Amino acid sequence: MPARRWQVVQLSLNSATIWPLYPASPRRTRASMVKTELEIIYQDNHLLAVNKPAGLPTMGVASDVPSVITLAKQYIKQQYQKPGNVYLGIMSRLDATSTGVVLLARTSKAARRLTEQFRRRTVQKNYWALVSGLIEPEVNELVDWVAKDEARQRMAIASRADPMAKEARLKYRRLRAVGGGSFLEIELLTGRKHQIRLQLAARGYPLWGERKYGSGLPFAAGIALHARQLVIEHPVRKESLQLVAPLPAAWRALGIRD
């Protein structure tokens, strides 16, 4: 089956009804129940990639709480009329408050091959972020050792000698100043929990909307951290695949465009 690109899939959690909006449909259902939209940016027989909105957990929540994994399984189950359980493996995970590309594997073979790519760090991971203050220098690589602070239930900068600490590395480039802050392009070189949020806040540049790691400038939806792009090797076709997530409305309202 050829790869397909879609616009928005609207899912009603209470009724498990799915409305694919590509081709575009003028109809809307006036249900009183809460709905969540999943924007699908890529799919084929092996992969599914979605543009996660702010406030939607990727996984790991109660079964009656909306998440990327539950909504995506509902979509696959109904779109392809699959009986029984649907297999989907989360390959990239985002905090509930952030937005952007989440990659899922539709087969165990694809999941194994993608896991190996992430383990070897051959996946290119690019984020866009808004931080408070004019960050200096304009281009830099940040290297820290991080560990979980159990008492405060968050991550923290740690000593390299700490046996629980792991290296955290990223590169950033300041694209321009925006409203008392800086618009950054970030290449994530490792994948530690809350890494970008922690490393930038530790240097006095918390993300807009941040509350856990310092206090950033206000932001309309979640935190200003967007997983802009993943570049992987397709697990079956063995060719480079670029997955790009369009910006949410909260970013466009600030004059930032794709």
Catalytic residues: 95
C-alpha 235/C-alpha 213 separation (Å) is: 36
205-214: long-range contacts, CB 8 A cutoff, minimum separation 24: 205/131, 205/132, 205/133, 205/135, 206/131, 206/132, 207/129, 207/130, 207/131, 207/132, 208/130, 208/131, 208/132, 208/181, 209/97, 212/154, 213/154
Query: Please, what sign has the CA dihedral across residues 66, 74, 16, 64?
Result: negative
Rounded Cα distance, 97 and 203, in Å = 21
Q: What is the dihedral of CA 70, 76, 82, 86, to 10 degrees?
A: -40
Nearest CA to 57 among 38, 76, 30, 77? 38
